[in-house]
Structure 1
């Protein structure tokens, strides 16, 4: 089965077979990981995750879906033998939580990549296809930071294009290749600013990622808000995740990474993404680590 989509949109449905759940992570070959390992030379590192301070679990169960409440609610427990424990309620796709989107997070024409009916793939009992199970072994590849905010945050409403990426490559002396994780800094907060259009990734930029063979995307902003095209599919989620089957690290915290890259004069690194081995989810919080 194939998705009923615009034939001009980049589309990987069927590329790796009808049972595939890795999508563009298939592009991370052993050779790509060897190249990534060669990036580790001095032992410096930076996290790409936003810090989270839990809220006490005293508000309504729907509160975690709002941006002004922590993605994690916590309830303390005492066993009575001097041991404290806690219970967490986690909102996986919260805008203030750095998280990894699984392929089942987005469906196209009621189908999940690469053509599984959504009702069959995403069930009340959990996700049976395209879930976080595919990330259980972790992700290790070369990361490339394209810092589009090196002179300050991008302009409100700016649509990032492939040309923006190529100018950043030339300025930084890097080239994004097949199997790489593309890390893009726009310099904006991960949550929309009320009344202010945010910059975001355009369809042209997503096409560029497809041509280059990007395996994984991470950004401090992703799709623009409000969307560039409120009628068509969103560039990163609708096309990048839904059609290209490219997993996304949403709401990445990139200021520390950008500062370290500027200090070292390097914008390539080994990127290690090790999510908790919780199967059957549409996404999961993650702490990506860049090692130099």
Structure 2
């Protein structure tokens, strides 16, 4: 059964529908881009900015070994009537069935169906996930890059070696959640840097907290990243983005809707960790008086995925 729902389109033959109707009116030539910067076959995007120096900078932040998970907890739904796609954002992204194995030794095993791109699951978006003008990063036609059988280019396979760099938390909700419909700008991010006495450097991962759950509510417009903030990420050399704030729903700027998923990911090649849990991280940072840490992410080595659930770890 194929089901379409608000946060994802599961029909594999409708790639063309993801093109012009989702790009807004902004001219792609005026947008920040890394197409061609690391070659026509590049599948790492801004992860290329994680140099040995950047990794060493991150490793230096791991002083005590204290760890904090950035993943939201998931309670699976029972898989009792065959695989199906979640019909609403409130449905669990994981369906699970326990299986008894009697040979060669008694044991219990799991069968699971996982919906990767789901607002209630912390997941890593690979570079083949988002489309701009019929292409995925770095300009590869989407029908060449992604097929119904899986992604040939821009899949999570490119991240199999794992991600490790310095992470910087910019807590925009230290004094309370951001206002409804607030568009985060470069000024907001720089003000947080100054307040926390930290500066993001090229190759660092950016983690942002807004104090809102990442569950769209049409009755209460959520805050979101602006194109101005995405341009700032490009200038600063952000290698990876994570947070409890992403693209606003509904759109804050009709001229450039979904700037993270329609500009940062397909144009800049910036991998995104959607729906991160950052409240505990913010509490630990405030307790320790420092907002830098070693951030590690180890995606499972499954070929052909445009995204996968992950458990990012901040190490202090």
Tell me: CA distance 1:65–1:134, structure 2 relative to 1, closer, same or farther (3 Å): farther
Equivalent residues of 1:136, 1:279 under 8 A apart: no
Query: What do residues 114-142 of structure 1 show as CA deviations (whole Å, max 9, x unaligned)?
Result: 12111111012210001011110010000
Distance in 2 between the 1:252 and 1:190 partners?
9
Distance in 1 between the 2:250 and 2:82 partners?
28
Paired residue for 2:55, among 33, 36, 39?
33
Are 2:72 and 1:50 aligned? yes
Paired residue for 1:70, among 92, 95, 116?
92
Question: Matches of residues 192-203 of structure 1 in structure 2 within 5 Å?
Answer: 192-203=216-227
Distance in 2 between the 1:99 and 1:239 partners?
19
Consecutive aligned runs of 4 or more in structure 1 exceeding 4 Å deviation: 59-63
Equivalent residues of 2:70, 2:281 under 8 A apart: yes
| Normalised TM-score (structure 2) | 0.89
Q: CA deviation at 1:80?
A: 2.9
| Normalised TM-score (structure 1) | 0.96
Structure 1: segments with no counterpart, 5+ residues: none
Structure 2: segments with no counterpart, 5+ residues: 1-25
Tell me: CA distance 1:280–1:152, structure 2 relative to 1, closer, same or farther (3 Å): same
Are 2:263 and 1:239 aligned? yes
After the TM superposition, which of the residue ranges 5-14 and 146-155 deviates more from structure 2? Answer: 5-14
Match of 1:139 in 2: 163
Distance in 1 between the 2:85 and 2:42 partners?
35
Match of 1:279 in 2: 303
Aligned residues: 289
Match of 2:35 in 1: 13
Distance in 1 between the 2:145 and 2:30 partners?
26
Please tell me the root mean square deviation across aligned C-alpha atoms, in Å. 1.4
Equivalent residues of 2:55, 2:166 under 8 A apart: yes
For 1:207, what is the secondary structure of its paired residue? helix
After the TM superposition, which of the residue ranges 264-273 and 107-116 deviates more from structure 2? Answer: 107-116
Question: Matches of residues 163-202 of structure 1 in structure 2 within 5 Å?
Answer: 163-202=187-226
For 1:95, what is the secondary structure of its paired residue? coil
Q: CA deviation at 1:61?
A: 4.4
Q: CA deviation at 1:232?
A: 3.2
For 2:194, what is the secondary structure of its paired residue? helix
Q: CA deviation at 1:65?
A: 4.9
